[in-house]
Amino acid sequence: MGVEGLLEGFYEQIVYEDIGKDLSGYKGIVFCGMGGSGIAGTFASKWLNHRGVKIPSFVVKGYELPPFVDDSYLVVCISYSGNTEETLSNFEEALKRGIKPVCITSGGKLKELAEKNGCEVYEVPKGFQPRYAFGYLLSKALCLVGISPEEMEDAKENVRENLNKIKEEGYRIAERLYGYVPVVYSTPLTDAIAERWKGQINENAKTPLYYAVLPEMHHNEVMGWNNPSLRNKFHYIVMYDAKDHHRVKLRVDITLKLLKDMGIVPIVLKGEGNSYLSRSLYLVHLADWVSVKLAELYGYDSLKVDTIERIKEELKKYD
Ligand code: F6R
């Protein structure tokens, strides 16, 4: 299947399953995972917080679990291949602490170890690049932490209904970004989306992308704008959510005003949809189309991730 076909099938990956855990007995939830898998945990954690779930949740993107994580925590290890060493390290560390992590994977060592140790495994279909299986990984993570079938269906329908619009907008944005380093200015409700944009533009379009988050960026990033010879090498994208804090939205307006005063015309993005998840997946899917079109404009194969694979091979020499 061509890459366009893969993207057109994104909404079909958003599927509800009745696997919700009773979270009330846990002190916290930890999602472990890297890159195209880890981002599913980031979104699940954001979703839990937005929902007002009164259990802290956070993401580990590295080898070590924080020292306070014990068997009162729900640990969710997400690795599409099941062979990512950071996530395997988290899994093994959790076992040592008497925790049986819940695993989301298509196979690999993670599945093998999870089954051997009597851990729950939720499998996603094989044969994708991890970042193209985001819908499957996210669906499992959200279902685990209790999303309703209605909310999931609404998000899926929203992407399906808007697919052509998102695709066309994505192509237009790619044309504007061509030749620039994209910089995304996001908000507390859109920073996970900015992280996904970074991953997709980096991996699919072989292009650097940086992002900063409001309100924090009003305390540092903005001073970089004083340097016109550098600031003009970037193309700016400002994204926010309808439900962001009112002072954050005010800061979005101020950001736009300041950029305008410098003669900068940013791309302004706000997700469309009824729920936080729907609006988020709208912008997530937009990044898919932007990145694939940008890859085409630069003449790159959007599926190839040779440098990531080379690093993994280099590391194997030291196993
Ligand atoms: C490749 C990709 C990478 C991987 C990452 C972790 O498509 O998106 O970011 O996701 O290297 O590997 P997995 O997902 O197999 O744990």
pLDDT at 102: 98
Q: pTM for the full model?
A: 0.97
What is the gyration radius of the CA atoms in the chain, in angstroms? 20
DSSP letter, residue 223:
G
Q: Report how far ligand 1's centroid is from the alpha carbon of 192 (Å).
A: 16
Q: Report how far ligand 1's centroid is from the alpha carbon of 57 (Å).
A: 22
Instruction: Give the separation between CA 59 and CA 40, rounded to whole angstroms.
Output: 10
Q: Report how far ligand 1's centroid is from the alpha carbon of 92 (Å).
A: 19
- Give the residue ranges of the chain where pLDDT is below 50: none
Q: What is the DSSP string of 98-157?
A: T---EEEESSHHHHHHHHHTT--EEE--SSS-GGGGHHHHHHHHHHHTT--HHHHHHHHH
Q: Does ligand 1 come within 6 angstroms of the Cβ of 200?
A: no
Catalytic residue from among 54, 96, 116, 219 = 219
Residue having the nearest C-alpha atom to atom 12 of ligand 1? 84
Give yes or no: 203 in active site: yes
pLDDT at 2: 87
